[in-house]
Amino acid sequence: MSCSWSVYCLDCRNEGGATVERDMPVIRTLIRHRQAIAGIAALCHEPYPTDVVLGFDCGVNGVGRIDVSWFVEHHTHRLAPYNEYGQFADMTCARCKEAKDVRPLNLGQLSAKGLYCFECEPIIIADIKAAMANYPYLPELAL
């Protein structure tokens, strides 16, 4: 099964920078070298002759493109690998405190602080539903 991975800025809640198929280690590498990527922005924006195109490819067989201007804007922020299923890699689950693939709970107006792994997510949802039983005037959550 394929999975697209990209870079996500946790500070701005913005996805961008680069996207690759099935190759999350490439995203980790880009995040680790974000200062260097931001530093080549001036090189990419130099006026070149019309027959010269300067760009940087990444990923499997050149799939994906690095958006250096995105890295210029976000290189000092907290960045994380993020996939098309809404999971963040290499982050700590707010419940079990283990480094796993995690995702935020989609609870509408309610807030469960933090990101949770797949093992802890059902426990957190059950806890929230149990707590909501004390407030019958709140609408039913579709979890």
Give the phi and the psi of residue 97 in degrees, each rounded to 5: 65, 25
* Same domain membership, residue 15 and residue 70: yes
At residue 56, the pLDDT reads 64
Distance CA 117, CA 93 (A): 6
Short-list 62, 69, 58, 80, CA closest to 13: 80
pLDDT recorded at residue 106? 61
Q: Are residues 139 and 106 in the same domain?
A: yes
pLDDT in tens, 83-118: 888 888 878 888 888 887 887 776 554 455 678 888
Q: Are residues 69 and 16 in the same domain?
A: yes
Residue 23 sits in the same domain as residue 46: yes
Rounded Cα distance between 97 and 116, Å, is 9
Domain count, the chain: 2
Q: Tell me, yes or no, whether 68 and 7 share the same domain.
A: yes
Q: Distance between CA 108 and CA 121 in Å, rounded?
A: 15
The answer on 73 and 4 residing in a single domain is yes
Q: Which of 75, 76, 28, 36 is nearest to 56 (CA)?
A: 36
pLDDT at 12: 86
Q: Is the pLDDT of residue 141 over 60?
A: no
Residues 82 and 107 reside in one and the same domain: no
Amino acid 88: pLDDT: 84
